[in-house]
């Protein structure tokens, strides 16, 4: 059934938005009084647009439902799942209006002098979706598709993810629309420093803490920390996912992949799938895809195929994940790995396997292929890999889907541990990090499974219901709504 208030309409109701989401927010006007930026949709003096207002489309109770489409934007897809939960929970219109829009959206211009002397101007965003449960938290993505709509969607997903794994954060996301693969290291550093300076007015150790996402990594976080530190002094907790030498947490680099595997194993148990006999396909061989494959393999499962943007490699008897990784030292894609058969990204998703793990981009499982997915279990390591329409098809076909907001929350969990360690100036051992991660991932997975079983819901619906209730409750008891 379509959610009552879907699609998100164009009407804005300023009385519902922008009231500040917590004590930490009270510092913003003070900073702004130094003339560094202006609020409410105005141009700031460095070319950015800071908006405290309701710039995301909000709901119109009279809006007619539309058919689910594959070409829904990432934001439409994310709000679709939210509105479905809001319907099931009978969320009132005031709360719906607040939770279906971003709290603050900052769009900035990032002029970068390229190595060839030319000036290129990039577009960057930091979107803070909801801060009822704590400071905003979410990664920064460098990708050509990272536009306002995509970053908005990812910010909202962070709110739900952080609530589900029960870390004391709200949700945010950053993005720069660029092709990181074609930029030199120096260009990337200049872009990162400029972007950090531009968003520095709205981030802070107790306000908003960025982390890596697609196209960014520990090095990017080191540059962000340094650029922020040049302006505000040494603050390692300003970003997470830093190199360990600069205050990063042991275990953070592999945390998202480790969490994906913990969730996959719990879900496999639930559907009676023997892990040691499981044949797994992983799309994407970056940070999350590689670590997911490596840890799943180490724990006895068979990785039959992996891929990246250049294509995939398949071996029905199993790939040696470390050898594939080794191959990437010389090659630009896993597709040319000699120990497997070359396969396209489209074919990958339809392979005969037990567990399919999309770990790259959004929308790859859609109405074109959902009927042909042969896995019994889909574990969403990427954000938004399944369109709402495909999600319905998978549900009807009895394919279990461990949703993104559950499956990939290991990264933000260890980011939380890193933030805690930075604030306390006390480093944890790797064993402690992994123990705490496992404990939290298992607990969240079990909560979702029980909720789903009790109410006969899909795991995604159960995960959204739990998260939305937690965030709505926090907003209510703070007096925010």
Residues that bind ligand NAD (CB under 6 A): 212-215, 256, 283-289, 307-309, 345, 359-361, 381-383, 408, 411
Nearer to ligand NAD, 86 or 146 (CB): 146
Torsions phi, psi for 36 (to 5 deg): -80, -30
CB of 233 to ligand NAD, least distance (A): 27
Q: How far is the CB of 259 from ligand NAD (least distance, A)?
A: 8
Rounded Cα–Cα distance for residues 57 and 234 (Å): 38
* 3-state SS, residue 207: coil
* Smaller CB separation from ligand NAD, 91 or 334: 334
Q: In a 3-state reduction of DSSP, which class is residue 126?
A: strand
CA distance 351 to 304: 9
Is-contact 170 131, C-beta < 8 A? yes
> Per the structure block, which two tokens stand in for 126?
């930091």
Least gap, CB of 157 to ligand NAD (angstroms): 9
Q: Which is nearer to ligand NAD, 179 or 186 (CB)?
A: 179
Q: Is 173 a catalytic residue?
A: yes
3-state secondary structure of 406: helix
Q: How far apart are CA 372 and CA 29, in angstroms?
A: 53
Q: Which is nearer to ligand NAD, 357 or 457 (CB)?
A: 357
Tokens matching residue 333: 């894609």
Residue from 137, 161, 173, 242 carrying the catalytic annotation: 173
The total of other beta-carbon atoms located within 10 Å of residue 9's CB is 16
Which residue's CB is nearer to ligand NAD, number 8 or number 411? Answer: 411
Continuous H helices in 238-387: 255-270, 287-298, 321-327, 345-349
Phi, psi of 258 (to 5 degrees): -65, -40
Supply the minimum distance, in Å, between the C-beta of residue 132 and ligand NAD: 21
Nearest residue to ligand NAD by CB is: 286
Q: Tell me how far, at minimum, the Cβ of 289 lies from ligand NAD, in Å.
A: 6
Catalytic residues: 173
């Amino acid at each position: 059934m379509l959610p009552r208030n879907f699609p998100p309409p164009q009407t804005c109701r300023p009385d519902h938005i922008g009231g500040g989401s917590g004590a930490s927010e009270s510092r913003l006007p003070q900073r702004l009084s130094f003339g560094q930026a202006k609020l409410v949709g105005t141009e700031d003096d460095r070319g950015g647009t800071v908006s405290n207002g309701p710039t995301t489309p909000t709901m119109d109770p009279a809006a007619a439902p539309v058919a689910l489409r594959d070409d829904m934007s990432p934001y439409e897809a994310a709000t679709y799942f939210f509105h479905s939960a809001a319907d099931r929970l009978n969320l009132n219109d005031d709360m719906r209006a607040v939770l279906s829009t971003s709290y603050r959206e900052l769009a900035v211009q990032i002029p970068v002098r390229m190595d060839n002397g030319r000036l290129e101007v990039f577009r960057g965003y930091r979107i803070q979706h909801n801060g009822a449960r704590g400071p905003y938290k979410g990664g920064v993505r460098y990708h050509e598709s990272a536009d306002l709509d995509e970053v908005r969607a990812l910010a909202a997903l962070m709110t739900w993810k952080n609530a589900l794994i029960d870390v004391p954060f709200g949700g945010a996301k950053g993005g720069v629309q660029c092709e990181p693969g074609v930029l030199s290291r120096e260009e990337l550093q200049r872009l990162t420093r400029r972007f950090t300076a531009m968003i520095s007015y709205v981030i802070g150790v107790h306000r908003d803490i960025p982390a890596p996402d697609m196209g960014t990594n520990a090095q990017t976080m080191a540059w962000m920390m340094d650029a922020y530190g040049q302006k505000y002094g040494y603050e390692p907790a300003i970003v997470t996912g830093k190199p360990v030498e600069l205050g990063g947490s042991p275990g953070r680099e592999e945390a998202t992949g480790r969490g994906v595997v913990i969730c996959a194993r719990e879900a496999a148990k639930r559907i009676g799938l023997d892990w040691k006999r499981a044949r797994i396909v992983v799309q994407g061989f970056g940070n999350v895809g590689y670590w997911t494959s490596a840890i799943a393999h180490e724990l006895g499962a068979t990785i039959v195929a992996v891929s990246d943007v250049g294509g995939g490699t398949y071996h029905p008897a199993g790939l040696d994940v470390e050898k594939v990784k080794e191959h990437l030292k010389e090659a630009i894609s896993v597709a040319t790995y000699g120990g497997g058969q070359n396969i396209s990204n489209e074919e990958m998703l339809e392979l005969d396997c037990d567990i399919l793990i999309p770990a790259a981009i959004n929308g790859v499982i859609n109405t074109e292929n959902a009927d042909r997915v042969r896995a019994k279990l889909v574990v969403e390591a990427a954000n938004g890999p399944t369109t709402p329409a495909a999600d319905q098809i998978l549900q009807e076909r009895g394919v279990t889907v461990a949703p993104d907001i559950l499956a990939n929350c290991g990264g933000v969990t260890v980011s939380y541990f890193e933030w805690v360690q930075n604030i306390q100036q006390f480093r944890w051992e790797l064993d402690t990090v992994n123990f705490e991660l496992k404990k939290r991932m298992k607990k969240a997975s079990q909560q979702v499974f029980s909720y789903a079983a009790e109410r006969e819901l899909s795991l995604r619906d159960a995960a959204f219901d739990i998260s939305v209730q937690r965030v709505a409750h926090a907003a209510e008891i703070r007096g925010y709504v």
